[in-house]
Structures are given as C-alpha cells and as structure tokens.
Amino acid sequence: MVLLALVSLVPTLQFPSSAEVSTFIGPRVWPLTLVIALLGLGSALLLITWRDARRGTTYDDEPEEASRPQNDPVTAQRFALVSTRHWWLIAATVIYTWLISMVGFLIASIAFTLVGTLLLGARSWRTILITVLVATLLMQGVFVMLLGIPL
C-alpha cells in the first residue's frame, strides 16, 4: 500500500492545481487527498504489522461463526450474500454509471446510495433513510454550493 501510494504520488502531482484552473478546488485536490490518506494508513498498517510480528501476535483464532454447522440455514444465507456481495456492488456501480446518463447524476446517486447501503448490510429503515438523506445533502452541498457545478 505504501509503495502504491508513493508510485501514485508522482502522476497525482502533475494534475493542475486550483490556481491553474477556473474552479475553487482544482482537479489535484481529491486524488492527492486519497494518496496522502493511503500513504498514512498504509504506513500505520505496516508499522502495526511489524510490531505484531516482533511480539509474535497471530490472528489464527477461529471466530464464533465458523463454529456453526455448515448446513445451518442462517449460515448458508449469510455465506451466499457475503461471498457474492462484491459482484453485486460492481454490478450496481456499472448500472449507476449507465443511469447517470439516463436520469441524471442526482437521481442515479440517490438510487446507488440506497442500493449500496442495503448491500453493505443496513437493515434499519431509519439508518437507510438517514444515509440517503445525508449523501444527497452532501452531493448537493459539495457540487452545487462548494464547486459551483450544477447537477
């Protein structure tokens, strides 16, 4: 992760800054923020891994879920969703990208947030509603108000 961040830093710094473009926040800000976060978190993970290796700490303990019989319907249903969740998220992202051109960014983003929240495991409708509302307000606030980009 640290190596990926360092390699990504060079092309990221070649993006124009906000002083070179007509927008308040330039195209370099978001990728540079992600690269710095990746570098920081990757370094922290590396240091923690080295520390645990010196201490001899292992993570081979069996979780409680593994002790449940494989033919248990609860385990089977949970395994089916967990083992394919990444494919559903990829499909949702592809559909979201297609929907943007059909219904617009805001409506497609609201639908994607709803589906993504469900796929990531939220079951309380209150939590789902709050997540969708906060995401919608953030999209409106960041793009329309902060960046001046109409949706």
pLDDT tens figures, 69-84: 556 665 555 556 677 8
Q: Is 68 part of any domain?
A: no
Question: Reduced to 3 states, what is the DSSP secondary structure of residue 124?
Answer: coil
pLDDT at 9: 92
Same domain, 46 and 83: no
Q: Is 46 part of any domain?
A: yes
pLDDT band at 20 (very low <50, low <70, confident <90, very high): confident
More confidently predicted of 72 and 8: 8
Same domain, 5 and 53: yes
pLDDT above 80 (res 47):
yes
Same domain, 14 and 87: no
Same domain, 80 and 148: yes
Tokens of 105: 């960014």
Percentage, residues of the chain above pLDDT 90: 48
pLDDT at 81: 66
Q: Is 113 part of any domain?
A: yes
pLDDT at 30: 83
3-state secondary structure 20-51: HCCCCCCCCHHHHHHHHHHHHHHHHHHHHHHH
pLDDT at 136: 92
pLDDT digits (tens, 9 = 90+) for 58-114: 665 545 555 555 566 655 555 566 778 888 999 999 999 999 999 998 899 999 999
Full domain range(s) for residue 49 = 1-60
CA–CA separation, 39 vs 150, rounded Å? 33
Q: Is 65 part of any domain?
A: no
Lowest mean pLDDT among 27-31, 33-37, 93-97, 147-151: 147-151
Same domain, 105 and 41: no
Check the CA dihedral 89-90-93-94 and report its sign: negative
Give me the number of domains the chain comprises: 2
Same domain, 44 and 78: no
Same domain, 42 and 92: no
DSSP label at residue 64: G
Q: Is 85 part of any domain?
A: yes
Q: Which of 12, 29, 60 is the last residue of a domain?
A: 60
